[in-house]
Amino acid sequence: MHRAYLDHNATSPLRPAAREAMIGVLTETGNASSVHREGRSARAKIDHAREQVAKLVGAEAAAVIFTSGATEAIALGLSPEIELSGRSLCCDLLLISGVEHPAVRAGGRFPADKIEIIPVDHAGVVDLSALEAMLARHCNAGRQVLVSVMAANNETGVIQPLDKIAAKVHADKGLFHVDAVQITGRYPFNFATSGADLISISSHKLGGPQGAGALITRNTKIRIPPFLRGGGQERGARAGTENVAAIVGFGAAADDAALKLCEEVDRLADLRDKLEAGIHSIAPDATVLSSAALRVPNTTCFAVPGINAETAVIAFDLEGIAVSSGAACSSGKVGTSPTLAAMRIEPEISRAAIRTSLGWSSTITDVVRFLEVFAQIHERLISNQRTRAA
Ligand code: PLP
């Protein structure tokens, strides 16, 4: 059976370029901190990957801090203490949008009572006037804030107006962290134009291996106190022997994604549009969430009233299609999605929300197969519903 994998926002298959680069490393020995030839070779590979990752987002290579993934990068970056040009800055509060991933909602090193939620509109876009009012209130009270907003949402694909948010944050002397996990390698993203001071990214969302990620600072004058202390690796920000193979795979995936980005944006948008047109023709009462907002071209979160998403996801899986339910998109657990709740989506729609997310390996065959199976499942679940209602 042809399996169609439409869950790239959960994890993307490993790109062949990443696999090849990793296999090369796995056959070699070398601790990047050692001074002998093997050590220097491992160090050179990490530094090359650092350049590749930096290039993807337009950052300085020296400002890349490799971590075990975006969750760790976020936990490291959301620090109440940040050093700017040798001066220690103490952030009193963390402001996050209502649609953040649980890794950000957990607040990093901020205690729960120092985290405030910035409201979003019905499409999940940050309410800029509400943010401005929050910033003004804290700035007038002499409080220093760190703000964290994601670039693209993992459930709906909505892209936030980062430059506008950054301008407001900086006008009130705040610092700005961006969770760029779902945008990097899928849509043009540039560190400088985003206005971010810090960003977090993940290898496995862009076709690199799981277990690698990075926190990247605007420049090397921004320093983050480590929470893993020891050997002083990664500019002293993250101790521990580097996972050379995963970092090399991350670099190769970043390089491959950067190379193909422009054509991929158009290709994925075309597949996504065909998929959404197909959904509407099979189920005219289907809603595509946030469809009027700017979205990354790979993500569709749709709901058909009366169809339970959990039931549908299992039915899709049995027919060879991997998708997620809206409620499970951020945690893998069933329940109400805090993101959809923050967007004030009606519970009936929220319970029915199914996410498809395309990526580098997706083809028209996957979309056609998805639509064939969706037509069958829709027919079956809707007729079951009619029988129950009769
Ligand atoms: N942020 C967003 C928006 C995500 O979608 C994810 C993963 O689902 C993460 C952070 C965490 O990334 P990682 O799996 O690399 O820890």
Residues 246 and 266 in one domain: no
Residues 230 and 192 in one domain: yes
- Look at the block and give the residue holding tokens 């197909």: 278
Ligand 1 centroid to Cα of residue 105, in Å, is: 12
pLDDT the model gives residue 381: 82
The count of other CB atoms within 10 Å of the CB of residue 118 is: 23
Q: Is 202 in the pocket of ligand 1 (CB under 6 A)?
A: yes
Domain span including residue 178: 16-255
Average per-residue pLDDT for the chain: 95
What's the mean pLDDT in 7-34? Answer: 96
pLDDT at 333 over 60: no
Catalytic amino acids?
329
pLDDT at 360 over 70: yes
Residues 29 and 174 in one domain: yes
Q: Is 103 in the pocket of ligand 1 (CB under 6 A)?
A: yes
Residues 105 and 236 in one domain: yes
Q: Is 213 in the pocket of ligand 1 (CB under 6 A)?
A: yes
Q: Which of 72-76, 196-200, 348-352, 353-357 has the lowest mean pLDDT?
A: 348-352
Residues 250 and 301 in one domain: no
d(CA 223, CA 247): 21
pLDDT at 336 over 80: no
Residues 226 and 290 in one domain: no
- The type of residue at 248 is V
Residue at which a domain ends, from 240, 255, 270:
255
pLDDT at 390 over 80: no
CB 202 within 8 A of CB 254: no
- Count of structural domains within the chain: 2
pLDDT band for 341, please (50, 70, 90 cuts): very high
pLDDT at 186 over 80: yes
d(CA 111, CA 176): 18
pLDDT, one tens digit per residue, over 242-281 is 999 999 999 999 999 999 999 999 999 999 999 999 999 9
pLDDT at 306 over 90: no
The size of the chain, in residues, is 390
Residues 284 and 354 in one domain: yes
Residues 251 and 333 in one domain: no
pLDDT the model gives residue 328: 56
Residues 37 and 85 in one domain: yes
CB 196 within 8 A of CB 176: yes
pLDDT band for 320, please (50, 70, 90 cuts): very high
Residue at which a domain ends, from 218, 234, 255:
255
Mutate to test the pocket of ligand 1, among 105, 154, 198 (most ligand atoms within 8 A of CB): 154
pLDDT the model gives residue 334: 54
Percent of the chain topping pLDDT 90: 92
Ligand 1 centroid to Cα of residue 29, in Å, is: 30
Which residue puts its alpha carbon closest to atom 13 of ligand 1? 70
pLDDT the model gives residue 389: 72
pLDDT the model gives residue 327: 58
pLDDT the model gives residue 2: 79
CATH number at residue 57: 3.40.640.10
Residue at which a domain ends, from 255, 279, 314:
255
Closest ligand 1 atom number to CA of residue 203: 15
CATH number at residue 292: 3.90.1150.10
Ligand 1 centroid to Cα of residue 200, in Å, is: 9
pLDDT band for 196, please (50, 70, 90 cuts): very high
What's the mean pLDDT in 284-292? Answer: 96
Ligand 1 centroid to Cα of residue 74, in Å, is: 9
pLDDT, one tens digit per residue, over 238-251 is 999 999 999 999 99
pLDDT the model gives residue 46: 98
Residues 200 and 226 in one domain: yes
